[in-house]
Structure 1
Amino acid sequence: MHIGNLRTALYSYLIARHNNGQFILRIEDTDQKRYVQGAIDLIYDSLKISKIYYDEGPDKPGKFGPYIQSERKEIYKKYIDYLLEKGFAYRCFCKKEELERQREESKRLGEHYEYNRKCRSLSREEISKRLSSGEQFIVRQKIPESGVTSFDDAVFGRISIANELLDDQVLFKSDGYPTYNFAHVVDDHLMNITHVVRGVEYLSSTPKYNLLYMDFGWEIPKYVHLPHITKESGKKLSKREGDASFQELLKRGYLPEAIINYIALLGWNPGDEREFFTIEDLIKEFRIERINKSSAIFSLKKLKWINGEHIRKLPLEKFVSIALEYFPKTISKSLNTEKISRLIQPRIERLTDIPDILAFFIKVQEYSPELYNHKKMKSTVDSSKEMLEKMYPFLQNIEEWSNNNLYQKLVQFAKESDVKNSTVLWPLRIALSGLQSTPGGATEIAEILGKKETIRRIEDALNILK
């Protein structure tokens, strides 16, 4: 699911829940050329994983079904016939090729294309004749040629557009399907929708939708148009340009609750400095009045930080169950995964970072002896060699192989050797990991590796330091 679509669903859900309302899932599939097999299941899965629970929908029937627009064709036919009868719409018999030539000509002249309304004033006799001959047609909205249509948007305020600037949009296609521009107006009315939440790109089309509401004599809902989500370059997020979808972000190791938390902040803020929210927090705090007009910038860096915060907030048991999927099999079979999880949970920002972070538990990669040099740790290559040579028999004689006991013994060892604790612990950590930075300290790693493997790695380290 595209990030923009997920944000629209999230905001709709939060508005409904915050106001003790209902959230309805409707599948808008009237553009059959763009229908993608499995798309509906993807929507179900995305909402379920995100904990955006709808009250009614195709798989959760209630009083407002059917919920898939392609199953509501007869409903739309009734309302399009009404518009034709009352003169609020008209049949257009223009061929696709003719309309395409008009578009190309407008493009060549650098002008905005707008249908020339050629069929708007056809006589009843002409229309009857063309229908009798079996000519295909579409149905267009008959926009008033003068006046102004205004409406209030909860985010952008009062919007007024001269009717002469509005085109006679298509309401019904020749394949018997309505367009989104028509179907959603009918559905929103019949389903008692009070708040219409959608992207700002629909702002300029809303006057046309309102004219339909007025033609039918229906109450106009409240509009909440959301600002664009852009990349840091300023360009709009686009699935076609390879920008991450919700599913892609999950594959990259982001938690669904972190993604939802971050998406909520793309266009909304709580009015203070808070940035960490659970879905329950968002339901409680969300206010339409706090939605911003300006575009929201999507930053993977910020998402990564929020993801790290959510990872650290997880109960250890839950983190272990999630993290195990990313553990190399060798580690899962031979080492204590709970102890490893306890080490890495405070230190990772993405679940997909886990395999690389844990790689040293499987094998120490080749490293330079220069790693043992550390001014702050009072460690040099020579002092490290000396400490490891002394530690080698010392560690072999330790019976209780636990982090606490190892740490206490090595602190005592450092004291008796008249050196700083770090002069002992730094070379041990390098010997056990081959890395300058690790999750956990030397004795935590030693406990997990076990006595035999710890001693073996010290032997390897001494060979490197010869």
Structure 2
Amino acid sequence: MVIRVRFAPSPTGRLHLGSIRTALFNFVFAKNQKGIFILRIEDTDKERSKKEFVDDIIESLKWLNLNPDEGPIFQSERIEIYRKVIEELLEKGKAYRCFCTKEELELKRQIQITKGEPPRYDGTCARLSKEEINEKLSKNAPYVVRLKVPEQILAFKDLLRGEIKFDLRLIGDFVIAKSETEPLFHLATPVDDYYQGITHVIRGAEHIPNTSKQILIFKAMNWKIPIYVHIPLILGEGGGKLSKRHGAKSVLEYREEGYLPEAIVNFLVLLGWHPKGDREIISMNEIIKEFVLEDVEKRPAVFNLKKLIWLNKVYLKKLSAKDIENLILNDPYLNDLRNYLEFENYSLEKIHNIIELGKERAATIREIFETVKFFYQDFDYNKELLIWKDYTFEQIKNSLIQVKNAIEKISEDKFNYEYIKQILDSLSEDKGYTYWPLRVALSGSEASPPPIDIMLILGKDKTLKLIEKAIEKLS
């Protein structure tokens, strides 16, 4: 049997990490089993489905290298298939047209609640005669199509959770279509799963209630039921529903912020599954090789933004300056960073050096340039920032004058790391007295790359000008 799985998002909003984690688990399972990964766009909701969100889904998968073997397949292009299934269900008496108005349904619901009963459809229209149905149809009375639900316990096996039972008496006859040409989620999804040969339905645990309804479609059509796998929910830190306040954003927002796809994939796969040895860093090839679907955890995973940031730092540090340059040049989401690569004051070699310095403190590609922006723009700072420990303004000024005089004497051919360090180290036993005010003078910040590294990029003349500016602040 060839394993066939699908990722089936609705294009009603930007693709978020919870959804892409589902895509990832489907993708790696398919690759591990040498199976087929299908992208299906569930766009039957005409009002809410938008092309921009379809593009967002496709671009998100492409960026993370979760490329489908088949698709995208659009449900909106398969209406005829759903129509035939709906008509067959009607002909077999497995479904029926419901002509009840919204007002009538609401009244029934309120009566049931008053009696302490679970609100569900009472089957009024299931008891209509053919003559009554035809009369209503002849008058163009609006209707929906409901599936007849048997009053029994439905049990199905989940690959991770074992047997799950549902009391169908609590569900009632539910709506599967607004008309023969307007299928709803609970009909279109199982129909596509059948016709597309899906062997495993891998999706979030929030879909467990939907599964019981969709299995009823399989049973009504006498189709083979696929294997269901409900992967754990992703919760925010503290156990609540995951939201933006926990740091959760859409996939392409992370891309725009300068996160790396390898880090996102690594982070997401650990939300519910762990490789042997409990390793934290794992490549896509290793995931595919080691992934075992039965080893996915049942308990909810917790979204930890600090861990994502740490992972991105790890992957960022593995990249060379040239790698980062190529990422910026080839990724339209990072296009605005090109200005830093084309800065006329610096050679490409110096720009690569700036990137190397910046990435040591950065969590994302964007932060590389945030941490070293003093190379690219004028800056100012309070003179108090120049003070090291309990030294006075006058003492710090004298330190900077010492440094300035020493640098002025260094010839261009000796303006290198080893010689500059030798000279600066000789100025004082208290290294902070020398290096702290120099760091602030060159960067305007208390957190920056080492001062000598900055000097080598700025050059001797620019270095001296910035030191003079600091001395003036203290005068």
TM-score bin (small chain): 0.7 to 0.9
Q: Contact 1:364–1:432 (CA<8 Å) still a contact in 2?
A: no
Q: Which residue in the other structure is 1:371 paired with?
A: 386
Query: Matched residues in 2 for 1:110 and 1:28: separation?
Result: 36
Q: Which amino acid aligns with 1:116?
A: D
Any idea what the Cα deviations from partners look like across 1:218-269, whole Å, max 9, x if unmatched? 2111111122222224332358999521122223332233222222222222
Distance in structure 2 (CA, Å) of the matches to 1:98 and 1:402: 91
Match of residue 102 from structure 2? 96
Q: Give the match for residue 69 of structure 1.
A: 75
CA contact (8 A) 2:406 2:423 kept: no
- Asked if the contact 1:228/1:236 (under 8 Å) is kept, the reply is no
Structure 1 gap ranges (5+): 59-66
Where do 1:8-157 residues align within 5 Å? 8-58=22-72, 67-103=73-109, 112-146=118-152, 148-157=153-162
Aligned CA distance change for structure 1 residues 145 and 289 (closer, same or farther; 3 Å): same
SS for the counterpart of 1:261 is helix
Any conservation in 2 of the 1:141–1:169 contact (CA below 8 Å)?
Answer: yes
> Structure 1 241/444 Cα, relative in aligned 2: closer, same or farther at 3 Å?
closer
Alignment of 1:34-433 (within 5 A): 34-58=48-72, 67-103=73-109, 112-146=118-152, 148-174=153-179, 176-237=181-242, 244-322=249-327, 325-326=336-337, 329=340, 332-335=343-346, 336-361=350-375, 362-369=377-384, 371-374=386-389, 384-400=396-412, 405-412=416-423, 414-415=425-426, 417=427, 419=429, 422-433=432-443
**Residue identity in the other structure for 1:86:** K
* Conservation of the 8 A alpha-carbon contact between 1:70 and 1:177: no
The structural deviation recorded for 1:447 is 0.7
Question: 1:2-13 residue pairs with structure 2 within 5 A?
Answer: 2-13=16-27
Shift of 1:157: 1.6
Amino acid of the residue matched to residue 357 of structure 1?
T
1:179-215: CA deviation from partner (whole Å, max 9, x where unpaired): 1111111111111111101221221232222222222
Which residue type is aligned with residue 332 of structure 1?
Answer: F
Deviation at 1:51, TM superposition (A): 0.8
* % identical aligned pairs: 39
Tell me which amino acid in the other structure corresponds to 2:462.
E
Shift of 1:453: 0.5
Distance of 2:408 and 2:294 partners within structure 1: 67
Aligned partners of 2:189 and 2:214 also within 8 Å: no
Q: Is the 8 A contact 2:266 2:283 kept in 1?
A: yes
Aligned length: 451
Shift of 1:169: 1.6
Question: 1: CA distance between counterparts of 2:239 and 2:428?
Answer: 59
- When normalised by structure 2's length, the TM-score is 0.86
Once the 2 structures are TM-superposed, how far is the Cα of residue 307 of structure 1 from its aligned partner? 1.5
Counterpart AA for 1:448: I
- Cα RMSD, aligned residues only: 2.8
Q: Counterparts of 2:424 and 2:48 in 1: how far apart (Å)? A: 71
Matches of 2:457 and 2:251 in 1, distance apart?
Answer: 36
Q: Secondary structure at the match of 2:43?
A: coil
C-alpha displacement at 1:448, in angstroms? Answer: 0.7
Give CA deviations for 1:3-26 in whole Å, capped at 9, x if unaligned.
222111111111111111001111
What secondary structure, in the 3-state scheme, does the structure 2 residue paired with 1:26 have?
strand
Any conservation in 2 of the 1:371–1:430 contact (CA below 8 Å)? yes
Query: How far, CA to CA, are the matches of 2:297 and 2:188 in structure 1?
Result: 28
- The alpha carbon displacement at 1:390 in A equals 2.7
- Confirm or deny that 1:465 pairs with 2:465: no
Q: Kindly tell me: are residues 339 and 238 of structure 1, through their superposed partners in 2, closer, same or farther at Cα, counting changes over 3 Å?
A: closer
Q: Please state whether the residue corresponding to 1:218 is helix, strand or coil.
A: coil
Residue aligned with 1:269, SS: coil
Instruction: Report the CA distance between 1:76 and its aligned residue.
Output: 1.2
Alpha carbons 2:87, 2:180 under 8 Å: kept: no
Judged with a 3 Å threshold, the aligned counterparts in structure 2 of structure 1 residues 267 and 373 are, in CA distance, closer, same or farther, namely: same
